[in-house]
Chain A
């Protein structure tokens, strides 16, 4: 059974950084594009970015370019999201999702990032 489990969230001060992780199991991780999506409290879904199966290419929404970096380690079946220079508006639940043919067909349960002083 396909499973995605995020970790690494928490409370961070404005301007700080975090590295979120997503552990994949139940499918051949190295075959799939993977995306990050976030959801601010009480708000809608916002796609953040995607990484190719071999990890050589990444694509981001304009609002996070230069601050967020997606990477992966296929040997560890793991996806990462490095988030830097955090702002209050980055407070959200961050989901990783398997991205198959432009379809986000499996999602983790999300990890909460709170940016506050």
Chain B
């Protein structure tokens, strides 16, 4: 049960787009349509921003989008804003009623 693989950091300028990848295996990311993404600001609880690969909860801006290809899921943030600077985590169902998180990615808005 190794953590899903995410880049440790990504960066972009305001208005640009950034994509964060989340790589697993056919036993988790590739095997199910149950990938979620969370945003976590320092000192705060994680906030769900994408679920079931590409669905947005109510209230999450459509600048946030998700996709999946094979064993890799991706989170794309378009029209970067200063408040998007945060840590981002992916999470996948991994069979046997278990879940698996990625190691997290720190997004810096330049």
A110 to B57, CA, bound (A): 22
Q: Which of B45, B48, B102 contacts A103 (CB 8 A)?
A: B48
Q: Which of B45, B51, B99, B100 contacts A107 (CB 8 A)?
A: B45
Interface set, chain B 42-68, CB cutoff 8 A to A:
45-48, 51-52, 57
Instruction: Give the interface size bracket for A toward B.
Output: 20 to 34
Q: A59-B98, A61-B98 are in contact. Are A110 and B45 (CB under 8 A)?
A: yes
Q: A108 and B45: CB pair below 8 A? A: yes
How far, in Å, is A81 (CB) from chain B's closest CB?
A: 16
Q: A44 and B57: CB pair below 8 A? A: no
Interface set, chain A 68-117, CB cutoff 8 A to B:
95, 101-105, 107-110
Q: A44 and B89: CB pair below 8 A? A: yes
Closest residue to B100 on the A side, CB-wise? A47
- CB neighbours of A60 from chain B (8 A): 98
Closest residue to A106 on the B side, CB-wise? B48
Q: A109 and B101: CB pair below 8 A? A: no
Instruction: Give the interface size bracket for B toward A.
Output: 20 to 34
Closest residue to A60 on the B side, CB-wise? B98
Q: Which of B36, B96, B103 contacts A104 (CB 8 A)?
A: B36
A45 to B38, CA, bound (A): 10
A24 contacts partner chain B, Cβ-Cβ < 8 Å: no
Q: Which of A37, A44, A50, A103 contacts B3 (CB 8 A)?
A: A44
| 3 tightest Cβ-Cβ pairs between the two chains A and B | A102-B34, A59-B97, A44-B104
List residues of chain B with CB under 8 Å of any chain A CB. 1, 3, 32, 34, 36, 38, 40, 45-48, 51-52, 57, 89, 91, 93, 96-104
Question: Can you name 11 extra interface pairs (CB under 8 A) apart from A104-B91, A105-B48?
Answer: A37-B101, A45-B38, A45-B40, A45-B101, A47-B91, A50-B98, A61-B1, A63-B1, A104-B38, A104-B48, A108-B45
Q: List 20 A-B contacts (CB under 8 A).
A: A44-B3, A44-B103, A45-B40, A45-B89, A45-B101, A47-B98, A47-B100, A47-B101, A50-B99, A57-B97, A59-B98, A63-B1, A95-B45, A102-B32, A103-B51, A105-B51, A107-B47, A108-B45, A109-B45, A110-B45
